[in-house]
A and B are shown apart, each in its own frame.
Chain A
Amino acid sequence: MAVDYFKYLRKEKMPHIWCAGCGHGMIVKSIIRAIDKLGWKNNEIALVSGIGCSSRTPGYLDFHTLHTTHGRALAFATGIKLARPNLKVIVVGGDGDMMAIGGNHFIHACRRNIDIKLVVYNNNIYGMTGGQASPTTLTDAKATTAPYGFLEEPFDVCNMAIASGASFVGRALDLDVPLMDRVILESFKHKGFSVVDAWSQCPTYFGRFNRWGNPSEMMEKYKQITYNIRQKDQLSEEEKKGKYPVGILHQIERPEFCEKYEKLIENLKTKEEAE
């Protein structure tokens, strides 16, 4: 069944500002398909972002949308969700937004297990500001602030999320549309804080600086440094070395923060009435 994308898009805001060959639009379509499948109404969704290329997403989608300050999307979203728990709250952000300036909010949102759905558009670079290195820039890769190659080790968004207590963690490449659809859909169904590390290519900066070729060649390169989590046991340690697993990597049941708070209010009320 065909999805009516314009039911969710702000048609008048098209065309978007993303470069030709950028993967962000593909992630947005996966998000739309998940929402459509779940039957969520535009009026019950709040979509929040920070600053960067990915953070322009809210402008294009016809929900309650909030384009906040750099790195702070999760903190704004926490206020929205806690104040109005019946809203479905989705946060989108880039690798700079979530792993650098907003890293502290990221780990605490994971720890709190608040029912917010986070999709990190991870393209290993700061696109909007012109191609500077980010915390997920691969070691030795070039960027405008790493002209001799990036000396540091990158963050693994998923490991960071799992270690911080996120109750759903998954990863997918924009190349693998069915997997991206599945991971985002399952993350949206999950009750609690979910993180999807959605890989997207930036041909304008990352690809150009690192001679990774055209967008489809870039996708192919990304594919080569990943493996499907389902093959985890079949592959040798040697074969998995330096590669990132994709798929649903982690899902546990853990009490959700807003529900706990509502229960607290209920309990206090019952106690008060009893007194």
Chain B
Amino acid sequence: MSQRYEIRLAGSGGQGLILGGIIFSEAAAIYDRKFATQTQSYGPESRGGASKSEVVISDEEVDYPKATNPDVVLLFTEAAKEKYLPMCRKDAIIIADSDLVKSEIPSEYSKVVKVPLTRIAKESVGREFVANIVALGLIRELTNIVSEESLEKALLTRIPKGTEEMNKKALKLGKEAAKKYGVHLLKA
């Protein structure tokens, strides 16, 4: 069977998770020339309701486009943690925004990274809404599933003009956060 890599980004509407999924999967599909699908599920609310974005990356054509057993799960709200953590396999990489997910993540999950993603975005870029991009930089660094160069290219095609520097900075902050908060997962 083909190597499938599945990422689930879960949080609420307005956090940019759908765009994040699009950028990440486009980096893989177009710039890394792999195969990728991005799907989403969301409520009727544009802002505030539950939102989920999934990315499947493979060397071969992807059959089922939704994540079935994700390798990486990003939890961006307490509600997302409640809903999706129980479905995670124990050795999946679980990333939680440490300010938004306050409750404990049980120790049976072996690859947990708690990072104040939104705070990093706010304090270091001055814009809370680039937290999704910080997350992408972090996921990339931890998984190496897309190349750094491709992710940046994909990012730049999908954001409004004039926000390039801000977004590039957010991506870089994600990379640094991986080294700081996820060092236990980084291979030498």
Would A and B touch once assembled, by the CB under 8 A criterion? no
- Please list the residues of chain A having a beta carbon within 8 angstroms of any beta carbon in chain B: none
